[in-house]
Chain A
Amino acid sequence: MQADLKWLDDPQTYRVNQLPAHSDHHYYRTVAEMQAQQSSFVQSLDGTWQFAFAPTPQERPVGFEQPDADHQNFGDIQVPGHIELAGYGQLHYTNTLYPWEGKLYRRPAYTLGDTTGMPGMFSAGPDNTVGAYLKTFTLSPKLRDHRVVIQFDGVEEAMYLWLNGHFVGYAEDSFSQSEFDLTPYLQTGENLLAVEVFKRSTAAFLEDQDFFRFSGIFRSVRLVAQPTVHVNDLTIRANVLDDLTTGDFNLTLALNDDAGQSGAQIKTILHAADRVLLNQTVPAQAEVTIQHVPVPNVHLWDHHDPYLYQLQVEVLDAEGHLLEVVPYDVGFRRIELKDKVMCLNGHRLILNGVNRHEWDAKRGRSVTVADMQYDLQVFKQHHINAVRTCHYPDQIDWYYLCDRNGIYMMAENNLETHGTWQKMGAVEPSDNVPGSLPQWRGAVVDRARSNYQAFKNHPAVLFWSLGNESYAGDDIAAMDRYYHEHDETRLTHYEGVCRNRAYEDQISDMESMMYDPPKVIREYLDNDPQKPFVNCEYMHDMGNSLGGMNSYTDLIDQYPMYQGGFIWDYIDQALLINDEVTGQPVLRYGGDFDDRHSDYEFSGDGLLFADRTPKPALQEVSYYYGKYDR
């Protein structure tokens, strides 16, 4: 197969030759590696890559993926990172209006009766900058003679991949991991990896989040080798029975299709700090299931006591040698609706939450683990118990950290189409995507699938969120259905259905609103509410704000179905740039890069300034969230 630029224009082409999404588990060659969290199956490709930038697709270096191409004009770039922060391409912040506003007239393919599919909209888009990346690598000895796949944790917004001149695959969805099998094209000695990143594709319509519009390989890239028998996926269901004292452990492993012929065995151990609850060895099969292992007097997982059991799955070859070991932390907890109230482990849940964009003033959305650890300290110090991953999946590490720190997650998939239905403040969905358009359904359900499959085993994830501000139609209903069909243990969330209530029976287990004044929430709760109420965004902390928070928290005492919410938002999005006048580092925002149309300071809504120093309002959050920190 050859790469085709037309995929950029086609909403029905969003993954080509990508491996199916699967659980985000790590695996190791030995128990010692596992304990050190250093897998010899992994070879990082982060670091310096060769790079060439083109302002349009037509000016890109066609054929650069070929090993014999002339790469003299290539410079360097750091991976992970944004192209725009590396000095190529203009920085740009815009909220709902699409980044081409006032420059190019675009309507999404297949809207407004279109049957042409709008060929050329992005493949010939004069605003579609291109980054051509090259990385030379030699497979480390520990990866040789294995199946080797490559994982891109985040590439914005569309990428084509080649190895040694052979086309490998294509991916969209900037914030979900994209994985490809490199094995057929690997060669001994040096290999040449080529990635062509386009700033725009039809995915641009689906990624209209209120943020800086970046492009590039902004999260880590790695090679991972797989042993001959390998756990591709695991699904853990650590349920709690009605007595709330007995755990019910279930596990499904997906191995290679031919695992049954390998003679391998699967040893599964579940243990707490001091006791072994399960130790079972069975022959490997393509699918291995363990059902209903009771855990008496189970130690439940919650915010104050995020207790984790340890699962260890060992794959042993026919001779009993360890091929790989997969660890996973297991939290037993039960989230459910009882009398229209969301309960965790039988108790009414109060969400003292924040919306958190991934942000680092120097690195943009390419955040570090140190950023995450700092954020969790802030959460702990100020009684923040919940986070919405607005409006895309975060880096994988964040989910593990939330498990360990007892942070309730509203895990949102990557979707926002705000500019297709809200025009100058009015609901005007005539060219809305995904709407009920069949041509867009696959792409958005794929985003739900990637989110679910990757993060389904995290006890921290209590809710699946279908995205943000994308209106509602059959396609988002299909996303909700996907989550519910695959996961009976969690609730779904979507605010946008309130804009099109015809779908409220099909979409979202909770009534979610943003920025409703307290009296409007009271009206809802006083009038036979059918779903519990959550503020998916409230207390808009732009500048000097966050007054009157008690008018919301008072509702906690007055209405059992009022369950708190997520403050907008955790951190300002501004960039630390050297002042063109003084040379001093200063925080700059939309419009400061000659970027137009811009929404200027509208991205400064955090409880923290962009450099992670707290705003004065944080002590107020600490007070009220502390008051309801149950």
Chain B
Amino acid sequence: MANTTAKLHVVYGDGTLGLHGEGFQYIFSYERGGLESLKRDGKEWLYRVPKPTFWRATTDNDRGNRFSEKSAMWLGADLFSPCTDIEVAVNGQVITLPIAPENNRYSDHETADKVTIRFTYTTTTVPATTMTVSYTVDATGEIRVQAHFNGQAGLPELPALGIRFSMPTAAQGFTYRGLSGETYPDRMAGGQPGDYQVTGLPVTPYMVPQECGMHMATERATVTRAITLNNADPDTEPFSLTFKQAGTPFNFSCLPYTAEELENATHIEELPLLRRTVFTVFGAVRGVGGIDSWGADVEAKYHLPADRDYDFEFVIAGTQD
């Protein structure tokens, strides 16, 4: 059982908000605009702050039907959309953003039942829109991540919509409870429900690297790494982090590369040395299509129009999960 008497420790820093508890230490950066550190049992899980993702590496069908040309501004948005607003709520009450000097009124022993920090990202599209990502942390270390995309008329269809976590080192592999193989909204009937293990971080070796590795309708996924970048940590015992559904199943991919890295390569051997883990939770996935590769669009029901709102959420399991 969870220790219900434990409190979440809050550090109202000058540039960050720290949330600590038994076996976890999270640091949210106001300057970086996101979760800068997700440390569990002494192991860091983040290389850079997670950001909304709007791009997928162009598939052959995307190229053929000129989807990527039409939606190209989402590539810029994927790379460059800044954090433009931050809001903090403690025990459900929004507080004045606790940056200096506001944070002078706090102490070195602040606690809370739960804290929510919400980052708003403004897309570099024309017209612009916003996406908010809220992290709600409780004393168990569980992080509930809720995302909201504000639809905006005049924007091209979305290639993808999700939150991308870049982890410092390459995973040994991952397990998940969901569908076999790789699935997309228009290609998931053949996916068999079950528990699956993937060794390493395979990139599906399409002749031209492209979007790959999607897992639809997932209940939970656990990433396992063995090494860190911490020079003082020679330990090589595997350690894991679990993502869980919050209500409805989620979609994810776990790859060693970002969409942009995949986009740039004309062959798999051009991809960089395998260094990181890019774990992305997708709130919405565009279909892959299949009628032809020189013009036929993905079927309409598998498009992601950008003039409507999207909401999705998931949970990063706490230390006692």
Contacts and interface: CB of A to CB of B under 8 A. Distances in A.
Residue from B207, B268, B269, B289 whose CB has the most chain A CB atoms within 10 Å: B207
Interface residues of A, number: 45
A587 B211 CA distance: 18
A547 B269 contact: no
B299 A543 contact: no
B210 A544 contact: yes
B92 interface: no
Given A547-B184, A548-B302, A549-B290, A572 B207 contact: yes
B207 A549 contact: no
Given A515-B292, A543-B208, A548 B267 contact: no
Contact of B287 (A548, A582, A619): A548
A586 B267 CA distance: 9
Contacts of B187: 546-549, 617, 620
A175 B274 CA distance: 44
Nearest to B302: A547
A191 interface: no
A547 B288 contact: yes
Nearest to B63: A543
B290 A541 contact: yes
A619 B288 contact: no
B180 interface: yes
B219 interface: no
Contact of B289 (A548, A589, A616): A548
B293 A545 contact: yes
A574 interface: yes
Contacts of A589: 207
A544 B204 contact: yes
Given A582-B269, A586-B267, A601-B208, A545 B290 contact: yes
B268 A546 contact: no
A617 B206 CA distance: 12
B290 A605 contact: no
B287 A547 contact: yes
Interface string B185-214: 111111110000000000011111011100
A542 B60 CA distance: 6
Interface string A576-595: 00010110101111001000
Interface in B203-229: 204-208, 210-212
A301 B98 CA distance: 79
B182 A616 contact: yes
A524 interface: no
Interface string B259-279: 000000001110000000000
A622 interface: yes
A547 B293 contact: no
Contacts of B185: 547
Contacts of B210: 543-544
Contacts of B123: none
B100 interface: no
A333 B294 CA distance: 39
A547 B182 contact: no
A543 B61 contact: yes
Given A517-B291, A540-B291, A587 B205 contact: yes
A605 B290 CA distance: 11
Given A547-B299, A547-B302, A586-B268, A605 B293 contact: yes
A400 interface: no
Contact of B288 (A545, A602, A609): A545
B293 A542 contact: yes
B190 A544 contact: no
B9 to A, nearest CB: 44
Given A619-B191, A623-B190, A539 B290 contact: yes
A398 interface: no
B59 interface: yes
Interface in B18-41: none
Residue from B181, B185, B210, B293 whose CB has the most chain A CB atoms within 10 Å: B293
B235 to A, nearest CB: 32
Given A551-B299, A574-B207, A619 B60 contact: no
B298 interface: yes
B99 interface: no
B33 to A, nearest CB: 31
A294 B18 CA distance: 89
A620 B302 CA distance: 17
Contacts of B205: 587, 609
Contacts of B191: 619
A390 B212 CA distance: 28
A604 interface: yes
Contacts of B290: 539-541, 545-549
A517 B180 CA distance: 28
Contacts of B192: 619
Contacts of B293: 540, 542-543, 545, 602, 605
B298 A543 contact: no
Contacts of A541: 290
Contacts of A605: 293
A623 B186 CA distance: 13
Given A547-B289, A582-B269, A587 B189 contact: no
Contact of B186 (A548, A588, A624): A548
A550 interface: yes
A597 interface: no
A548 B299 contact: yes
Interface in B283-321: 287-294, 296, 298-299, 302
Contacts of A538: 291
B286 to A, nearest CB: 9
Interface in A466-485: none
Given A542-B293, A545-B61, A621-B190, 14 more contacts: A542-B60, A546-B288, A547-B287, A547-B302, A548-B290, A548-B299, A549-B187, A581-B269, A586-B267, A600-B208, A604-B206, A605-B293, A616-B181, A617-B187
19 contacts: A540-B290, A540-B291, A544-B61, A544-B182, A544-B210, A544-B288, A545-B288, A547-B302, A548-B186, A548-B290, A548-B291, A548-B298, A579-B269, A601-B207, A602-B293, A604-B60, A615-B204, A623-B189, A624-B189
